[in-house]
Amino acid sequence: MPELSHLRMRRPRLDNLPELVLPEGFALRSVTANELPELACLLAASFPELIWTPQKAHEALFADLTVKETLALVEEATGIFATTASARLLPERFPDAGYLHWVGAHQSFRGKGLGRLVTLAVLHKFRERGCTSAVLETQDFRLPALQSYLKLGFEPEHADDTHAARWEAILNPPLGKQPVTQVAFVVKDMDVARQAWAKALGVPIPDTRLTIPGNERDLTYLGQATGAQAKLAFFNLGQVQIELIEPVAGSGPSVWDNAPEGVHHLAFRTKNMAATRDALAAVGVPLVFRGDSPNGAQMAYFDARDSLGLYFEFAEAQKTPL
C-alpha cells in the first residue's frame, strides 16, 4: 500500500485562545542547545519508531531556521522533560499561520493533559508573533493527539483526495458506532451443528449452501488468489444473524482454512472499504481476505486474532476501490 500523505489540521483563529494555566510542580521552559540530551530523550520516548540523538534534535529543531522556538514542560522535582512542542514558520506554504511542530509526550506523563498545555503554549507564541491561525500535520494512527487537537479548536483540512475518507474513519470509527450484523462460528460437521442450533433457538433448520469457488469471485488471501470454499448456514434473528461455517478442506488458503471450532468473526457494514481498511490497519488489524459478490458487493476480513481472538468481517453493498 502506498504511503499516505500526512493529515492536516488548522485552528482558524488565535484571538480566542484559552488561558494557559500550568499545573503545580511543572515549569514551561524554552529549550536551549545545552538541553539537547534531555530533549532527545523525550523525543525518543515520544516517537519510538524514530532514532533521536542530541545531534538529530539539533538538526531538526535548532539548525532549521524555520523553527523559531522549542518549548518543554519540565517536572520541577526531577528535571524530567514531560512534553514538548515547537513553533515553526513556513510563510510560503502557510502565510499568516504558525506551524505546530514535533509535539511529544513522555510515556510517564501521558493522559494528564500536559501535551495539550504545551501545544497551547506554542499557540500563544504564534499569536505573539502576529500569526492569525495555526496549522499542523500528523498521521492517522495518532488518535490521542488528534482528539487533543480537536478539543483545542483545530479542524480537519483536506489537503488531498484521500483525506475526506480518512477523517470519516477517524471521526466515525468503523467499529465503535456500528451495530454487529452477524456472529459467525466454525463447525466441524454442518449437519450436526445446524440441527443443534435450530433446536436451541426453536427455529427451522436452515439450508446449507456452498460458496462460489474463490477463483470465480476474485477471492484473495494475504494478497494471493485462492480457490477457497466453505459450507454456510444462516439463522436470521432480527438484528443479528448467526452464521455457521464448515471449511472445505483442501480448497485453498483462507480465513476458514484450519480455523478452530468456535467463534470465528463479527460482521459489520461499511460504505467505504478503503477507509475501513486504513482505520483498522492503524490499530494493528490488517486486511487478510477479500472477495466480490455476484451482486456487485464486496466483503473483507480483518485479522484481530492476536489481540481479540477473532476476525472482523465488513460487507460493502456497492463495491468501492480497495
Q: What is the pLDDT of residues 181-206, one digit of tens each?
A: 999 999 999 999 999 999 999 999 99
Q: Which three cell numbers stand for residue 167?
A: 477523517
First to last CA, the chain: 10
CATH topology of domain 182-316: 2,3-Dihydroxybiphenyl 1,2-Dioxygenase; domain 1 (3.10.180)
3-state secondary structure of 321: coil
Q: How many CA atoms lie within 13 A of 250 on its CB side?
A: 0
Amino acid 2: pLDDT: 56
pLDDT at 1 over 50: no
DSSP 96: T
pLDDT at 309 over 70: yes
Residue by residue, DSSP assigns 109-167 as GTTSSHHHHHHHHHHHHHHHTT-SEEEEEE-TT-HHHHHHHHHTT-EEE--STTHHHHH
CA 274 to chain centre: 13
Q: Which CATH architecture has domain 7-171?
A: 3-Layer(aba) Sandwich (3.40)
Q: What is the pLDDT of residues 124-164, one digit of tens each?
A: 999 999 999 999 999 988 888 999 999 999 999 999 988 88
Q: What is the average pLDDT value for the chain, to the nearest integer?
A: 93
What is the SS3 string spanning 104-117? EECHHHCCCCHHHH
DSSP 91: T
Amino acid 295: pLDDT: 83
Please, are residues 143 and 151 in contact by the beta-carbon 8 Å criterion? no
Domain ranges (residues) in the chain: 7-171, 182-316
Of 278 and 115, the structure prediction assigns the larger pLDDT to 115
Of the candidates 269, 275, 259, 278, the one whose C-alpha atom is nearest the C-alpha of residue 298 is: 269
